[in-house]
Amino acid sequence: MKLKVHKVIKSARMNRSDGFVKWGLAFTFINFLLFPFSSNAQTKKDSSVSGQFSFGMRNTISAFTDAKSIGMGAGGEFRIRLDKYINTEWFADYISTDIQGLGYRRDAHIGWSVLFYLSKNPLTVGKVTAYLIAGNCFDYTQVNSYWPGAQAQQRWSFAIPGGFGIHYNITKRFDISLLSQYMIHLGTNIITSIDNDGGEQYLSITKGPGLSREGHLLTTLSVNYEIGNLWGRR
């Protein structure tokens, strides 16, 4: 009886993991479809902003639910604008997280997102431009313990971020942006726990079965400068 229950639970976990993968692939496909539709939707009035290229630097705070710690990181980004109300953001981050003084976690993110502007006249000097954001991200994660006998674990994963942000244009070309988004990772399950050896605590790291459903909140502050147009005319 116990063996049958174990098989049912294992089967349910595998089905749930497969579901996450299917949803992730579907979300990626939908995002890629946005590019041709947004390009075809351009009008003569908006053609002057199509192709705008901006470059920026960013700082990110990451609140990991599993590590129960706050991570800090930095990175870079660039934007390629497709239409008056649609922009894209391509980014890379490196984030370091302390795990209760017993170990640490390192995360490298590289990905892209689509920004949907909610304001009537986006990126107007002296005004706030609100936007929704959704995209895809590929990540490398390494978790280490300060305990000499512990073995580090690492993984590659796929992530789906989405959230809300604002731009504030100080000049026509220069903006400050604040973004908050939730990111769900789909990858190998890395399990951390605090164990005790002779009265001394240490961080234990193992890889679990199935896919991880780990999520964390990212808050990013960036500064960006519009360099010019990749295509079209201003």
- Provide the token pair at 185: 């990772």
User: Dihedral sign, CA of 142, 75, 212, 97?
Assistant: positive
* Average pLDDT score over residue span 41-56: 73
Q: What percent of the chain has pLDDT over 90?
A: 56
The rounded distance, in Å, linking the Cα atoms of 24 and 186 is: 8
Q: What residue segments make up the domains of the chain, in order of their start? A: 2-39+50-228
Residue 2 pLDDT level (bands cut at 50, 70, 90)? very low
Q: Do the Cβ atoms of 56 and 76 come closer than 8 Å?
A: yes
Q: Kindly give, in sequence order, each residue whose CB lies less than 8 Å from that of residue 181, ignoring residues fewer than 6 positions away.
A: 133, 161, 162, 163, 164, 165, 217, 218, 220
| CB burial of residue 70 (10 Å; 0-12, 13-18, 19+) | exposed
Q: Which residues of 23-85 form beta strands (DSSP E)?
A: 52-64, 69-81
Residue 153 pLDDT level (bands cut at 50, 70, 90)? very high
In this predicted structure, the answer to whether residue 55 has a pLDDT above a threshold of 60 is yes
pLDDT (tens digit per residue) in 74-127 = 999 999 999 999 999 999 999 999 998 899 999 999 999 999 999 999 999 999
pLDDT (tens digit per residue) in 183-200 = 998 888 888 888 887 788
Residue 214 pLDDT level (bands cut at 50, 70, 90)? confident
* Three-state secondary structure call for residue 73: strand
Beta bridge partners of 133: 115, 163
The rounded distance, in Å, linking the Cα atoms of 132 and 16 is: 28
User: Dihedral sign, CA of 183, 189, 190, 195?
Assistant: positive
Name the residue with tokens 């978790």: 143
Name the CATH architecture for the domain at 2-39+50-228. Answer: Beta Barrel (2.40)
